[in-house]
């Protein structure tokens, strides 16, 4: 996007210049600046919301609606083999983790998931329907059966590994889980990280997560690439796929859609 402000001021050449905050092989963000109430500022495109909350608006990219797995593949590029039953897809034995064929940066994601009923009591902790949603193939919002009573009697695990956690760093602010066998949903706004030409982080990723309509992360800064038992740190990268984890535990997903989100302009200083 080029600088488009039509405000004619002597200082415009400097202040309205397109701000490139990263370059090279990594994310390139070109941010345009506008004056207050600039009437030549482009108005936002019109999006038609769905009639029902949770359904995709007109500009959404449908990632899964029950028809097929055409938007998904394994990490090695081979076809996704999760089982489709009705409008849901379910991890199958040796199905492996899957990811979108398309790459994304900043985005809004809606996804619904369900853990099975009747899981034996001996199946606990991180083996109780573990999965996860990975943004840019790196940053995991944990999926787990974390439904619990007030005594945390159902499934104990470490707080930064329960459902809704940014795995390994930030537990959800509250536990908004529904019981096994019930559909749950995440509505997530993800802001991509930006890197400079040397690969240094110039803006960390941020994430806002609603779990079953309850805000569990509010514009949270992500510490880096998700790891296990290792503190997250950043390594530079470009766009990446949205991934769904196969942890060897049964888990189902349905109604998955995404909206790509542009960089938002700044005001002229």
Q: How far is the CB of 162 from Mg ion (least distance, A)?
A: 10
Q: Give the x/- contact pattern for Mg ion in 85-124, rule: CB under 5 A.
A: ----------------------------------------
Q: How far is the CB of 144 from Mg ion (least distance, A)?
A: 7
Q: For residues 184 and 245, which CB has a smaller minimum distance to Mg ion in the complex?
A: 245
d(CA 76, CA 83): 19
Contacts of 175 (CB under 8 A, 6+ apart): 146, 148, 162, 163, 164
Size of the site for Mg ion (CB under 5 A): 4
Closest-by-Cβ residue to Mg ion is 132
Q: For residues 34 and 113, which CB has a smaller minimum distance to Mg ion in the complex?
A: 113
Q: Give the x/- contact pattern for Mg ion in 194-233, rule: CB under 5 A.
A: ----------------------------------------
Which range touches Mg ion (CB under 5 A), out of 116-124, 194-202, 245-253, 261-269?
245-253
Q: How far is the CB of 132 from Mg ion (least distance, A)?
A: 3
Q: How far is the CB of 86 from Mg ion (least distance, A)?
A: 24
Question: Hey, which residues between 124 and 153 contact Mg ion (CB under 5 A)?
Answer: 130, 132, 142
């Amino acid at each position: 996007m080029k600088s488009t402000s039509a405000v004619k001021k002597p200082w415009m050449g400097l202040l309205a210049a397109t701000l490139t905050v990263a370059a090279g092989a990594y994310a390139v963000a070109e941010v345009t600046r506008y004056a207050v109430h600039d009437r030549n500022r482009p108005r936002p495109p019109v999006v038609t919301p769905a009639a029902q909350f949770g359904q995709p608006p007109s500009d959404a990219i449908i990632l899964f609606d029950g028809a097929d797995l055409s938007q998904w593949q394994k990490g090695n590029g081979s076809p996704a083999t999760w089982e489709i039953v009705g409008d849901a897809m379910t991890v199958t034995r040796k199905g492996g983790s899957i990811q979108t064929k398309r790459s994304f940066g900043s985005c809004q994601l809606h996804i619904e998931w369900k853990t099975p009923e009747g899981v034996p009591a001996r199946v606990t902790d991180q083996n109780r329907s573990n999965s996860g949603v990975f943004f840019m193939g790196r940053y995991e919002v944990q999926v787990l059966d974390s439904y619990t009573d007030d005594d945390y009697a159902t499934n104990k695990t470490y707080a930064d590994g329960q459902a809704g956690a940014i795995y390994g760093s930030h537990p959800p602010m509250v536990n908004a889980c529904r019981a096994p066998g019930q559909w749950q949903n995440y509505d997530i706004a993800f802001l991509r990280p930006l890197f400079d030409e040397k690969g240094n982080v110039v803006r960390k990723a941020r994430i806002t997560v609603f779990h079953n309509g309850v805000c569990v992360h509010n514009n949270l800064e992500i510490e880096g690439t998700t790891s296990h038992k290792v503190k997250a740190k950043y390594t530079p990268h470009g766009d990446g796929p949205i991934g769904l984890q196969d942890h060897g535990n049964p888990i189902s997903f349905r109604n998955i859609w995404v909206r790509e989100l542009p960089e938002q302009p700044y005001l002229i200083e």
